[in-house]
């Protein structure tokens, strides 16, 4: 499977840098790809023209394949009453920084499911790899992307989701364990989260699926890669491990926190964005998830409120509300240039 995935993706090493919106950059993706792994850019928060620019920028930096990641969540349904109640709940926090909540909230992250223009762009530019998070696009869209010669990856958190992805015709499954940082890729979060760990999920999927499986969640070094592959994974997807790279757009505070006390205290909360996501705990996590909080607005409308609060706190010189996603392996993070990190990971996994 290791050789199958490298041939399929056109890479040398079975390592994929996770497409972290707000952290991954064309420079990071290009450096990872040039080192023989697969770099990724996350476009979930970007417009069609911004995505065109990101793809063109990445291509100007590398001639190697890279991955373009799409958010396939159910489009949000606005609920003015629910959103007003949430903003009223947040008002005392804004007041701490001499600010007021926004009057209204917007849907900042447009779902790929509601964006045919994005499909047209991808069909025109034909990136080597496209991946899906939060679910799957329409069957016809998957077929059109495949006919364009694009390799398709889908993030799954359960065997049931994997069956849906395999039936839809994707080429690779990304097994996202509960240890992973950032947003959980659960297809239907209102039905709950099975919370399966990475290694257990890898075995569940490899035991029943004909597709290559990439392990994602808690993997930070070559030893972790080797462990996942010993259980049948064809390779790994790593996000938190690349946050410390100088090519990422993570803040210095975010990088430093990975190996500090907060790196040992990651937690999952839906109160920040409206969907469950794992990050390093701070007042944003503890206060927004307090008992008695009103019902959350839909994702990503809820995220607009958190971003406004983060901005108000930052303007007042406070990092207590910073959104700093990270997985459970955060304390193992290393501050290395991306290419050097890939070389180290490959050396570590090959000595075992």
**pLDDT above 90: residue 290:** no
- pLDDT recorded at residue 133: 98
Q: Would 336 be classed as within a structural domain?
A: yes
**pLDDT above 60: residue 6:** yes
**pLDDT above 90: residue 23:** yes
CA separation for the pair 293, 290 (Å, rounded): 6
Structural domain that includes position 114: 2-73+109-248+332-350
The total domain count for the chain is 1
Which pair of structure tokens corresponds to residue 156? 């799954």
Q: Exposed (0-12), middle (13-18) or buried (19+): which is 164, by Cβ within 10 Å? A: middle
Dihedral sign of CA atoms 216, 222, 227, 229 in order: positive
In this structure, the number of other CB atoms found within 10 A of the CB of residue 209 comes to 18
Average confidence (pLDDT) over 3-27: 96
Average confidence (pLDDT) over 307-319: 96
| Torsions phi, psi for 144 (to 5 deg) | -70, -40
Q: Would 305 be classed as within a structural domain?
A: no
**Chain mean pLDDT for the chain:** 96
- pLDDT recorded at residue 292: 87
Average confidence (pLDDT) over 156-168: 98
In this structure, the number of other CB atoms found within 10 A of the CB of residue 113 comes to 20
**pLDDT above 70: residue 96:** yes
CA separation for the pair 158, 177 (Å, rounded): 9
- pLDDT recorded at residue 108: 86
CA separation for the pair 188, 98 (Å, rounded): 38
- Mind listing the pLDDT tens digit for each residue in 234-269? 999 999 999 999 999 999 999 999 999 999 999 999
**pLDDT above 80: residue 93:** yes
What ranges in the chain are assigned the alpha helix state H?
A: 2-9, 26-34, 48-61, 80-96, 116-125, 139-147, 159-168, 198-206, 222-230, 252-258, 283-288, 301-315, 338-350
Considering the entire predicted model, what is its pTM? 0.96
Average confidence (pLDDT) over 134-143: 98
Q: Would 342 be classed as within a structural domain?
A: yes
Q: Would 14 be classed as within a structural domain?
A: yes
Q: What is the DSSP string of 178-191?
A: TT-SEE---S-GGG
CA separation for the pair 346, 102 (Å, rounded): 47
**pLDDT above 70: residue 37:** yes
In this structure, the number of other CB atoms found within 10 A of the CB of residue 100 comes to 13
Average confidence (pLDDT) over 19-32: 97
**pLDDT above 70: residue 1:** no
pLDDT confidence band for 351 (50 / 70 / 90): confident
Average confidence (pLDDT) over 85-94: 97
Q: Would 281 be classed as within a structural domain?
A: no
Q: Would 288 be classed as within a structural domain?
A: no
* Helix, strand or coil, per DSSP, at residue 167: helix
**pLDDT above 70: residue 123:** yes
**pLDDT above 70: residue 352:** no
Average confidence (pLDDT) over 297-315: 97
- The four Cα atoms 339, 344, 350, 352 give a dihedral, to 10 degrees, of -160
- Mind listing the pLDDT tens digit for each residue in 193-208? 999 999 999 999 999 9
The CATH number of the domain holding residue 201 is 3.20.20.70
Q: Which of 122-131, 135-144, 284-293 has the lowest mean pLDDT?
A: 284-293
Average confidence (pLDDT) over 280-306: 94
**pLDDT above 60: residue 56:** yes
**pLDDT above 90: residue 97:** yes
**pLDDT above 70: residue 2:** no
Q: Enumerate residues 6+ apart whose C-beta is below 8 A from 57.
A: 26
Q: Would 202 be classed as within a structural domain?
A: yes
Average confidence (pLDDT) over 111-116: 97
Q: Would 99 be classed as within a structural domain?
A: no
- Mind listing the pLDDT tens digit for each residue in 276-285? 999 999 999 9
């Amino acid at each position: 499977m290791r050789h199958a995935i490298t041939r399929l993706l056109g890479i040398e090493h079975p390592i994929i840098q996770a497409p972290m919106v707000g952290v991954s950059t064309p420079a990071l993706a290009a450096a990872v790809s040039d080192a023989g792994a697969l770099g990724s850019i996350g476009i979930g928060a970007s417009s069609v023209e911004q995505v065109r620019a990101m793809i063109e920028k990445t291509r100007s930096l590398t001639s190697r394949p890279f991955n373009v990641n799409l958010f396939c969540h159910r489009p949000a349904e606005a609920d003015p009453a629910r959103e007003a109640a949430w903003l009223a709940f947040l008002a005392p926090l804004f007041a701490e920084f001499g600010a007021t909540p926004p009057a209204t909230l917007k849907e900042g992250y447009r779902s790929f499911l509601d964006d045919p223009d994005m499909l047209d762009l991808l069909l025109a530019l034909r990136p080597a790899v496209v991946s899906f998070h939060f679910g799957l696009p329409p069957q016809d869209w998957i077929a059109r992307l495949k006919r364009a010669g694009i390799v398709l990856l889908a993030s799954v958190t359960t065997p049931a989701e994997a069956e849906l992805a395999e039936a839809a015709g994707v080429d690779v499954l990304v097994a996202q364990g509960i240890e992973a940082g950032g947003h959980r890729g659960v297809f239907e979060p209102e039905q709950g989260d099975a919370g399966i760990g990475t290694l257990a999920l890898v075995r569940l999927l490899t035991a029943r699926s004909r597709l290559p499986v990439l392990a994602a969640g808690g993997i930070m070094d070559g030893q972790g890669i080797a462990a996942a592959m010993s259980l049948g994974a064809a390779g790994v997807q790593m996000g938190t491990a690349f946050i410390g790279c100088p090519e990422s757009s993570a803040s210095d505070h975010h990088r430093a926190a990975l190996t500090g006390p907060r790196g040992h205290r990651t937690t999952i909360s839906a109160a920040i964005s409206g969907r469950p996501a794992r990050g390093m705990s701070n007042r944003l996590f503890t206060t927004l998830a307090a008992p008695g909080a009103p019902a959350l607005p839909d994702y990503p409308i809820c995220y607009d409120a958190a971003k406004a609060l983060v901005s108000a706190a930052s303007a007042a010189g406070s990092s207590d509300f910073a959104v700093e996603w990270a997985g459970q392996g955060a304390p193992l993070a290393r501050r290395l240039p991306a290419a050097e990190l890939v070389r180290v990971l490959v050396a570590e996994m090959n000595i075992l």
